[in-house]
Structure formats: structure tokens, C-alpha cells
């Protein structure tokens, strides 16, 4: 899946990305409810969180199953992040686009770069926290990671923000300080892109 592929003419592909803790998951779920776009459900090898539902939040599979999907070329993009794999099923995304519907990918900056390489017409929306201090607070408040992993996520966020700011596919940047305002801003972007 390294070839550059044109998007089906009917649907639009939006990539919502940002560092861990920026709020992209919460924001994406709300945007989907308000725009009619479809959210692509990612596949991961990490264990589900307490409130996460298989098939809704992620498809949770073993590393062996994930490796088989890589070999079969089933991912639009994939990456290993903090010891776990994450990937976007290509077939699901292309089927939705071919039906004339818009698709939202909620993925990290590394995965977004792979999508933009394959689909240059994809539209990137970068979600950022209001400050590094707020990002750190959010990572601790969600109680998903140990302090060492949080420190690694914070260090990675600096590199991700730099990488995203250098990518011309990220046409929009939304600061997620007030969630309602950030949702409204992303809804407006998705609704107004021709």
C-alpha cells in the first residue's frame, strides 16, 4: 500500500491528529455526531481501557493478528507507539468514501504522515492543547499510563507538534482549550470543505 492513490471523488477524507492528551478522541466522537461523517475505527494491540468497547473505540487484537494484517497489506497506515501497534483498516475507509460519505481518521501524527503520502488530497486538522502544562495535567488525569509513559508521551508531543507544523496537509489547527468551542470549530471545518 505504498502507491499514491487518488481518493474516490465522492467522499472527503479528514485526518484529526495531535499529541496524546490533546482531546482528539473526545472531539472526534462529538464531531461525528454533528456532521454525519463516519469515524474509522482503528485496530490496536493495547489492552482496552475500563470504559472502552471493542469495535466502537478500537478493535482490540493480539500482536500476532496485527502482524498478519500488516503482511496482508490491510492497513491504510500503522505505527508502533509506546510498545503497542495501532492501524487504520484500509478497506473500511475506502468503502465509506466510495459511498460518497466523508471519513474522519483520528490518528497520531506519525500515522497521518503515511495517510498524506498515500492520499495527498486528505485534509489534516491538528488538535493542540492550550499549553504543555495542560497537556501534562490531562495525561495524568486520565489515569491510563504510569509516570514514565506520561513523560515519554510529553517528550513525543514536542516532536509531533514540530512534525505536524511542517506538513502542508495540516491545513487547520484547533486549540482545544474549551471543548465546546473546539468541537464547533472542527464541525465548521468539516461542513464547509467542498
Indicate the angle between helix axes 132-141 and 147-165, nearest 10 degrees. Answer: 140
Domains and CATH numbers, the chain: 13-192 (3.40.50.300)
Q: Report pLDDT for 38.
A: 93
- The pLDDT of residue 11 is 81
pTM as predicted? 0.81
* Residue 52, pLDDT score: 87
The helix, strand and coil proportions of the chain, stated in percent and rounded to the nearest 5, come to 45, 20, 35
Q: Give Cα separations from 73 to 28, 37, 62, 63, 126 (angstroms).
A: 26, 25, 17, 15, 27
**What's the Cα-to-Cα distance from 109 to each of 19, 95, 167, rounded to whole Å?**
7, 23, 10
- The answer to whether the beta carbons of residues 112 and 169 sit under 8 Å apart is yes
Q: What is the pLDDT along the chain (194 residues), one digit of tens a residue?
A: 434 444 445 689 999 998 887 888 889 999 999 998 999 999 999 988 888 899 888 999 999 999 999 999 999 999 888 789 999 999 999 999 999 899 999 998 888 999 998 889 999 999 988 888 877 787 777 777 778 877 887 778 877 887 777 778 899 999 999 999 999 999 999 988 76
What does the alpha-carbon distance between residue 94 and residue 79 come to, in Å, rounded to a whole number? 20
Cell of residue 44, nine digits:
490496536
Amino acid at each position: 500500500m505504498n502507491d499514491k492513490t487518488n481518493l474516490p471523488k465522492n467522499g472527503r477524507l479528514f485526518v484529526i491528529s495531535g499529541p496524546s492528551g490533546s482531546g482528539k478522541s473526545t472531539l472526534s466522537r462529538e464531531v461525528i455526531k454533528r456532521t454525519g461523517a463516519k469515524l474509522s475505527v482503528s485496530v490496536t494491540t493495547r489492552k482496552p481501557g475500563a470504559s472502552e468497547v471493542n469495535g466502537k473505540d478500537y478493535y482490540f487484537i493480539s500482536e500476532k493478528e496485527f502482524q498478519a494484517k500488516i503482511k496482508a497489506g490491510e492497513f491504510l497506515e500503522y505505527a508502533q507507539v509506546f510498545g503497542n501497534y495501532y492501524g487504520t483498516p484500509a478497506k473500511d475507509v475506502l468503502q465509506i468514501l466510495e459511498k460518497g460519505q466523508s471519513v474522519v481518521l483520528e490518528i497520531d501524527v506519525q500515522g497521518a504522515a503515511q495517510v498524506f503520502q498515500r492520499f495527498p488530497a486528505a485534509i489534516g486538522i491538528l488538535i493542540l492543547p492550550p499549553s504543555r502544562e495542560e497537556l501534562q495535567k490531562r495525561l495524568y488525569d486520565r489515569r491510563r499510563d504510569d509516570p514514565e509513559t506520561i513523560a515519554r508521551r510529553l517528550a513525543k508531543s514536542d516532536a509531533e507538534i514540530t512534525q505536524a507544523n511542517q506538513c502542508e496537509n495540516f491545513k487547520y489547527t484547533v486549540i482545544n482549550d474549551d471543548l465546546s468551542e473546539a468541537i464547533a470549530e472542527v464541525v465548521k471545518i468539516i461542513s464547509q470543505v467542498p
